[in-house]
Structure 1
Amino acid sequence: MKLFSSKSLIIVISVLFFTRNSLAQNNAETFVYGDALPDAPELSARGEYKIGVRTLDFVNKNQVDVLKSKGGVDPLYDRPLKVEVWYPANVSADVKELVTYDQVMGSSNDPKRPLIPFTFLGRAVRDAAPKTSDGAFPLLIVSHGYLGSRLLLTYLTENLASKGYIVVAIDHTESTFRDASPFPSTLLNRSKDILFILNQIADLGKAKDGFLSGIVDSENTALIGYSMGGYGVLNVAGAGYSDQITKIFGSLSGGSKAIEVRTSSHPDYRATVDNRIKAVVAFAPWGMERGAWDAESLKGLKIPTFFVAGSQDDISGYEKGIKAIYSGAVNANRYLLTYMNARHNVAPNPPPAESLKAGLHFDEYYRYAEPAWNERRINNINQHFVTAFLGMHLKKKDYAKYLDLNQNSNDKPWTGFKPRASVGLEMLHAEAGK
C-alpha cells in the first residue's frame, strides 16, 4: 500500500526540516540575562569585544572582626574576598560565548529560607585569554546589596566588559546569600572592601605576569553599587558618613567605634578619598533615612555621580532617601534616573526560574522582581544609561545627548529610545554647585 504521494512526502520532509531548524534556532537564541528586548534603548546593545570571565580570591589581613567586638574591644582577623572579573578577551569564532554561573537563593541565617542552588547562563568564556592588543581598559568595581553576591548584576557586568572595561564584582564576606551575618559587618566593611579590591586589581595590572598585566587602567576607575553597595561606593567616593552612624554602629556592635575612620569628621578620612575614581553609579543607595549622611558629609562627594531609584522604594526610601542624597550632593555633577512606581529592585538580574516554584518563600522571587516593571526591561534601560554615563566620564565619548533629556519621559520621547518606548521614567540633572 502506498503511504505517501510524492507531493505529501515533500511536505512531510519540509515540515520536519523546518521544525528541526526552528528548534535549533530557539536553542541558539535562548534568552540570557542582559540580552536586548525588541524595545531596548540604543546603547544597551553589547559592544565590540568578546569577553572572558575569571574568579579570583584575595585576603585582606588584620581587619576588625566587628562580629566579635565586645566592650569596645575590636579583635582582628584575615578577611577573605572572592571576586568575579569580566574582561575583553581573544575568543575564536568557533568558541561559543556562553558560561554557566553557580548561584544560590535563600539566606544562610534564616531557617525559613534554606539555601537553594541554581545556575544561569551568561555570555562570556570562562578563563579566556585576555585581549592585550588594545592597551589598558578602564576599571569598574561593582558592589552588591545585602544580601547579594558578585553575580547579582551579570546583565550589566558582561555588557560593560564587552564595551572595553575591566569589570570586577565583589562577594562581600558576611553579606552574601551563602554567609549572611549580622549587619555591623556590612556597615563597616563595604567601603573598606572596595578600596582593598581596587588596590589589588591595580597591582595585578602593573605586575609583569598574570592575566591582567598591562590591561587595567586603574587611574581611570568608576564604582558601581546597589543598595548597601551604593552606601559603600558613595563613602569611598567622598561622602564620608555622619557622626550619627557611629552611634548606630556602636549600639549594634558591642560599643565598637571602628567605623569612625569612615566618617567625614575623622581627620584620616579625606586621605582615603582616591583620585583614581572618576565616576560613581549608585543604584538605590541605602542609608540616608537612617542618618548615614547629613548635609555636611554629602558635600564631600565631588565626582560625577549617576543615581538610579524607584519612586516607591520601601527599603532605601525615595524622597527622604535616594532623592535626598541626590539633592544634598551639591558639589557633584549628578543625575537621578527614577523608575516611576518601582520599588527597590532597580538593579539586579531578572528573577531566576527556580524562584517561581510553588512553596518557596515569597522573598526568593521579590529579591529580584518589581511589581510594576519587567526586570528585563529595567536591565536594558540600565545598560543604556550606564553606558552613556561611564562612556562620557571614562572614555570621553560624546554621549551627552543621551543624558540631557526632558525631565518626564512621558512628555517628549527620549533620545536613544524607540518610538512609544520612553514612558514611566524621570531624569533629573544638577551641575556641581547647584
Structure 2
Amino acid sequence: MTRWITTVAAAGRALAPIGAAMADAPARSGVDAPELAALGAYPIGVADATFVQPGQLYPLPDGSEPVVADRRLAVKIWYPAAAAGGGTTYRTALPGEDTKPVAFDIPGLATPGVRVAAGRFPLIILAHGGSNTPEVMSWLGENLASKGYVVVAPAFGDPPISLRTLASMAGPLARRPLDIVFVAAEAQRRARAGDGPLAAADPDRTALVGYSMGGYGVLAAAGGRLAPQLEPATRRVLAPFVAGAPRAGELKVAGLKAVVSIAPPRILGNLPLWADGGMTSVTAPILFIVGSQDRVVGYDPGVRTLFSEASRTRRYLLTFREAAHSIALIGAPASMTHTFWDKDWFEDGVWRKDRLIAIQTHFITAFLARYVKDDAAKAAYIDGLTTDSDTGVWATAPAGRYAGYSPGAPASTIWKGFQPSKRAGMSFEVQTPANGREGE
C-alpha cells in the first residue's frame, strides 16, 4: 500500500558480474548495522511456486461488480539451504506514474533450486505493500532464511497504485487478509505433505510479516476485527468477514506465534479499516514499525493508535523519528532513480535506506527469535530498553569511532546490539496486556 491513495552469510559467487551482485545484495548489512542484522549461519535457497484458490471473488479496479475466478498467486520461497550456491538476480517491476511498469534488477544471495537444509524451521508469511512485489522485500526474506526460517512471499498482483482511486484499492483491501490466510494454510498443508522446500517448514510455528497494505493484511489475518464499512468499500467481498458477520472468526492463521506489522493503515481517507476495539482480538505478540512522519498511514493517530489498542497482547513499537512511509523496500535500483515518482517508491527523505533496513532486520530478528523460536536470550534486545535511543550510557566503552556492540544492561543502557555512535533517532516502546496475562 506504499503511496496510499494520492499517491551465514550466503557463501559462493554471484552471477555476472562475479562477486559484485552478492556483495551488493540488500540482505547483507553494512559495517555500521546493529548486531542482529548480520546474516545467519545458513546458505540461502530460493524457489518459485503457484498457490491456487478456486472460485474467489475479486473487485475490479474500475469499480464494476466483482468477478469470480480461481485466485492464482505466484509465491517466492526463501529457505535455509544445505550448501552454498552462486546467488541470483531478481527481475521485477513497479508501476510508474503513468501506470506502466518500470523494470529493474535486484542482486540476491539466494540460489535457485539448491537442496534444503536438514531440520524443521519456522514458517514466515511475508506480505508486500500495495503494487509492490516480493522481490523488493528480498532484504528480509533472504536474511531470515539464513537464520533458519522458511519464508513464503506471495505476489498479490495489485492494480497500479498510480491509478490513485479508492475503487482501484478495493481489490487489495478485500484480498489481502483473505490471501494471507489462504497462503498460510496452503503453505502449512504443503509442509505437512512434505512438498519441496516447504517440507522443512514447521506449520505449528508460523509468523506473519507485512508492510503497508501487507501490514493491514497480517493484522487482519492475526484476528484483528475489520470495520463493517469495508463491506461496501470492497463491493461486498469482505461482507462475510467483517466484525459481527458470520465468518469473521475464520480470518485467523493457525499456529500463529508472532506478527510484525510495518506501517499498517488504520484508516484510508475517511474509511475506517478496523472495528471499534478491533485490535483487541489479536492475541499473538506484535512488533509495529513506523516512521513518525508517515503521512500515508499516519503516526498518532495512526500506527501508534493501533499499538495502543492491541491491549490483549504484548506489543512493541519501533519508531524512526522523521522517517516517512517508504521504510521497508530495498534502496532504489539505478533504473528507478530517474524520476521523482520512481525514486520515491524506495527512498526516505531523511534516513539512509540501508540503515532503515538494517535496524528493522535487527529488531525483527530478535522479536521472531524470542516469540517464534522461544529463544529467551533474545529478550534482552527488545525488553528493558530505554524509550529514547539517544539516551543511554556505556561508561567502559572506548572513546571515538568504536565499532563494538553495546552488551546491554547492566553494563550499558545503550540499546543492546547497537554501536555507541550509531543509535540516534529512534524510540522503542513496549506495552503489556491490560490484564497482565498475554494471549488471553
TM band (smaller chain): 0.7 to 0.9
In 2, Cα distance between equivalents of 1:182 and 1:127 = 36
1:402 aligns with 2:394: no
TM-score normalised over the length of structure 2: 0.84
- Separation in 1, partners of 2:47, 2:298: 35
SS at match of 1:130: coil
What displacement does 1:191 show?
0.8
1:100 to 78, 89, 92: 89
Secondary structure of 1:392's aligned partner: helix
1:365 to 320, 339, 343: 343
Q: Who is 2:3 aligned against?
A: none
Following superposition, which runs of at least 4 residues in structure 1 exceed 3 angstroms of deviation?
24-30, 68-71, 175-181, 287-290
Q: CA RMSD in A?
A: 2.4
CA spacing shift, 1:166–1:177, aligned 2, 3 Å? farther
Q: Which moves more between the two structures, 333-342 or 392-401?
A: 392-401
Structure 2, unmatched stretches of 5+, are 1-16, 393-413, 436-440
Distance 1:305 1:188 in 2: 22
Query: CA distance change for structure 1 residues 70 and 25 in 2, over 3 Å: closer, same or farther?
Result: closer
2:220 is matched with: 235
Q: Tell me: CA distance 1:296–1:102, structure 2 relative to 1, closer, same or farther (3 Å).
A: same
- Specify the code of the residue in structure 2 equivalent to 1:148: N
Question: Which residue, out of 362, 366, 369, partners 1:391?
Answer: 369
Which SS does the other structure have where 2:305 is aligned? Answer: helix
Which residue of 25, 37, 49 maps to 1:44? 37
| 1:189-223 Cα shifts (integer Å, max 9, x gaps) | 00111111112111221225x32363111111000
Quote the residue 2:415 is aligned against.
414
Name the SS of the counterpart of 1:54 in structure 2: strand
Measured at CA, do residues 211 and 60 of structure 1 come closer, stay the same or move farther in structure 2, by a change above 3 Å? same
Alpha-carbon offset, residue 51 of structure 1: 1.0
TM-score, length of structure 1 as denominator length: 0.85
Which has a greater percent of helix? 1
1:13 aligns with: none
Matched, 1:312 2:287: no
Amino acid of the structure 1 residue aligned with 2:142? E
Q: CA 1:373 to 1:70, structure 2 compared with 1: closer, same or farther past 3 Å? A: closer
Which AA in structure 1 matches 2:81?
A: A
Deviations 1:254-292 (A, max 9, x none): xx3221223122232124423411110000002335311
The equivalent residue for 1:281 is 260
Shift of 1:420: 1.3
Q: Deviations over 1:60-96 (max 9, x none)?
A: 110013228989x65411111011000011225xx43
1:113 shift after superposition: 4.7
Query: 2:353 aligned with 1:375, yes or no?
Result: yes
| Cα separation, 1, equivalents of 2:221 and 2:386 | 31
Residue 193 in 1 paired to residue 186 in 2?
no
Q: Report if the CA contact (8 A) 2:192-2:203 is conserved.
A: no
Q: CA deviation at 1:429?
A: 0.6
Change (3 A) 1:240 1:56: same
1:423 corresponds to: 424
Q: Deviations over 1:81-129 (max 9, x none)?
A: 011000011225xx43x2110011324xx5x253222212111111111
Would the aligned equivalents of 1:104 and 1:177 in 2 still touch at CA under 8 Å? no
Is there any run of 5+ residues in structure 1 with no aligned partner, and where? 1-23, 250-255
Structure 1 pair 242/406, CA: closer, same or farther in 2 (3 Å)?
Answer: same
Give 2:306's match in structure 1, choosing from 316, 322, 325. 325
- CA shift for structure 1 position 433: 1.6
Cα 1:227–1:70 change in 2 (3 A) is closer
**In the alignment, what sits opposite 2:242?**
263
Retained in 1: the 8 A contact 2:185–2:253? no
- The aligned length equals 392
> Identical aligned pairs, as a percentage?
31
Which letter does structure 1 place at the counterpart of 2:169?
A: F
1:142-183 deviations in Å (ceiling 9; x for gaps): 111112011121111100000000001110023478999921
Q: Which residue of 1 aligns with 2:400?
A: none
Conserved? CA contact 2:224–2:281, under 8 Å = yes
